[in-house]
Chain A
Amino acid sequence: MNPFASRTQGNDWVWPVSAMCLILGLMISMAWVTQENRQSRRGFLSADQQTRITEGEVDLEAFQELTASVAKLREEKTKYEQALASQSGDSKVLNESLQEAKAFAALTEVEGPGILITLSDSAKAGGTVSDAAVAGDVIIHDTDVLRVVNELFASGAEAIAVNGHRVSPRTAFRCVGTTILVNDVKIASPVRIFSVGDADTLYGAMMMPGGILAEIRDSDPAMVQIEKLKVVRVPAYSGTTNLKFGKVPAIAK
């Protein structure tokens, strides 16, 4: 005999339960998360989490398109400036100083001897977040990149690009979750830092004992690779150059 049906079995439960099921079905449909109302549920997350979601939502295609068009327009501008300069001596001088300023401001491509530093996460780094938290030094952080770039400039680098993003006066390095933001673009290990300058000097400075790279090497020597290169070509900065708030003060006469 079925011990679970020891008493007489009526079916009077079916209709009340079914009625409730009907209501339940309606409720489930109302609670269903759709594409449209997913955004509105965000209010439930903490402010910190919300920021991370917003930062994650980058329209990559549009971004790449815009970056490409900025690069193209800047190149055209240089061409026009040079065309203008070929007409007279005065404008030629003007253009030279303009191009110099642009090269300094990272608005043109730069080519020359230099070195390539590759920073990669150690193979020792565990797969889980908690492992990484315990052994924090086996992954490349934003501060590592920042300090390497700083060190490069200190030892005379003239132009630096990090994973193809030119370091400009406006460049910031920032940690976002497991990635690093450079010029507001996410990059991750391996981080390839190209720098233009005297290759020997840069190489020597990077090998300095007690320097930032030595620190990283302490965790795992495989995390750092340095190469001297005959020709390094770093791209132009493709971010905004607009000044919204600052302006150049008028020159006193």
Chain B
Amino acid sequence: MGGPEIERLIALLARLPGLGPRSARRAALKMLGEPHRHMLPLAAALTEAARAVRPCRRCCNLDSADPCTICADPARDQGLICVVESVADLWALERAAVHRGTYHVLGGVLSALGGVGPEDLSLPALQARIAEGGVQEVILALSATVDGASTAHYLADRLQGSGVALTRLAQGVPMGGALEVLDDGTLAAALRARRPA
């Protein structure tokens, strides 16, 4: 179409989540149209990020600092750890700005089909953090799926007797959610978790 360089660029872009061959071609064309404005800064940012960003050895978050900025923040409650499945979940909680403690990124959930076993999760690092002392509560903020709940039960079993309070996220009606459009599972969970008005 336009030489092997362009084909390679499109092929690499098309591998990214959210992009298919068609959208990869559009992105490539946009960048090639103004390489100094789009392409070179992007290339520099990619190189810099690949060089600097690493998993935090404490919580497994991605950051250019180790420990990450969240772990190193003195304003954060170090006794409160929110366990999440992925960095994407951590970012979602940070966007909401509702959690003022620290995090621990598990790196997935137990999944027989996905080939994810306990040894693939960053559980030893979490246990080491708890063993250091000072942790009062661990919040299991995992997805409300069969795999997510199984992982939460597994973690609860493993952390039982560690002396920290274990809590889980509530399930129920989302903000702005009309009951008539909710799925049956969410409705059932909401009804079971009802509380005094």
Q: Does A pair with B?
A: no
